């Protein structure tokens, strides 16, 4: 059988499918290796590899697989700030996708962890190790704390959960990509979008204006501006801002020029006691020792 150009696509798809979730750097390496392997068998195959064109290349493959209700999706990892790719089912974005990896009891536990994470108070979007283990007492299915601990380790190892250095669990980028439909359908406004890229935002900043809720329904009385933004999106927008056109909240117009960590340094030096225009969300917003 003669190896053809389309076989590079086939090999690449198989390589991603076997991993399900890869960084953009690894995706580029896989593309190059697949192309080199095919060229070694047929020198007439055109070399198309370009590190800078990995996104374009994957989108070309998407054109051939979207009729199958699958596609490669990407987003910037909220922790590392690097782009990652995942092969997802565009029709069934439900938790059922985990059925091939976990038992029914483990899936039930994972769903309850998602509830804890998304509905965590103060926009923490994370849960402590203690609270995660303790959640098994609220399950109808029989699961010991030792089994819960083993499941947590497995969720992290397989990329479904992210565990921070402080021992807090949050939804990983893989979960945010592959389970996006489930998260949007189940939690709706409880899982916010980034005002810049419109992707789900569980780590980053929120507008710190607590005097007006420009997006709230008339019957709500929260009194806070509900605008969220990823840290990497915030950094990108601030770099583009100028003195004549400073960075502001797109909804309420609050000054967004100073990040919380910079405010902290200024406060430490006694230079500025006012709160910043944005506040941290996700694990960064959780005080030390908070359970």
- Are 84 and 61 in a shared domain? no
- Are 129 and 40 in a shared domain? no
Please indicate, yes or no, if residue 237 is contained in any of the structural domains. Answer: yes
Please indicate, yes or no, if residue 158 is contained in any of the structural domains. Answer: yes
Yes or no: say if 65 and 89 are a contact pair by the CB < 8 Å rule. Answer: no
Give the model confidence (pLDDT) of 65-110 as tens digits: 888 888 889 999 999 999 999 888 877 656 766 777 899 999 999 9
DSSP annotation of 75:
E
Contacts of 67 (CB under 8 A, 6+ apart): none
Give the model confidence (pLDDT) of 103-159 as tens digits: 999 999 999 999 999 999 999 999 999 999 999 999 888 899 999 999 999 999 999
**Residue range(s) defining the domain that contains residue 154:** 79-191
- Are 17 and 117 in a shared domain? no
Yes or no: say if 112 and 104 are a contact pair by the CB < 8 Å rule. Answer: no
Yes or no: say if 31 and 12 are a contact pair by the CB < 8 Å rule. Answer: yes
Residue 128 DSSP SS3: strand
CA dihedral 207, 121, 177, 153 (to 10 degrees): 140
Give the residue from 44, 68, 92 where a domain finishes. 68
- Are 131 and 162 in a shared domain? yes
- Are 187 and 83 in a shared domain? yes
- Are 111 and 47 in a shared domain? no
pLDDT higher than threshold 70 for residue 275: no
Please indicate, yes or no, if residue 74 is contained in any of the structural domains. Answer: no
């Amino acid at each position: 059988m003669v190896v053809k150009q389309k076989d590079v696509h086939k090999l690449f798809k198989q390589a991603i499918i076997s991993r399900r979730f890869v960084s953009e750097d690894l995706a580029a390496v896989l593309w190059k290796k697949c192309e080199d392997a095919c060229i070694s068998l047929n020198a007439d195959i055109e070399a198309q590899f370009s590190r800078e064109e990995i996104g374009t290349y994957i989108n070309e493959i998407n054109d051939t697989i979207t009729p199958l209700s699958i596609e490669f999706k990407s987003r910037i990892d909220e922790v590392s700030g690097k782009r990652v790719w995942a092969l997802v089912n565009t029709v069934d974005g439900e938790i059922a996708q985990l059925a091939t990896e976990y038992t029914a009891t483990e899936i039930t536990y994972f769903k309850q962890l998602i509830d804890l994470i998304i509905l965590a108070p103060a926009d923490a979007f994370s849960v402590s190790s203690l609270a995660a283990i303790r959640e098994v007492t609220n399950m109808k299915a029989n699961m010991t704390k030792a089994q819960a601990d083993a499941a947590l380790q497995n969720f992290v190892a397989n990329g479904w959960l992210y565990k921070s250095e402080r021992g807090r669990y949050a939804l990983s980028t893989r979960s945010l990509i592959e389970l996006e439909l489930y998260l949007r359908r189940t939690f709706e406004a409880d899982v916010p979008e980034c005002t810049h890229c419109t992707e789900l935002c569980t780590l980053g900043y929120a507008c710190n204006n607590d005097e007006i809720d420009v997006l709230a329904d008339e019957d709500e009385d929260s009194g806070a501006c509900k605008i969220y933004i990823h840290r990497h999106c915030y950094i990108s927008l601030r770099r583009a801002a100028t003195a004549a056109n400073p960075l502001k909240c797109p909804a309420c117009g609050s000054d967004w020029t100073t990040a919380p960590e910079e405010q902290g340094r200024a406060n430490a030096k006694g230079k500025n006691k006012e709160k910043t225009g944005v506040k941290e969300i996700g694990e960064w917003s959780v005080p030390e020792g908070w359970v």
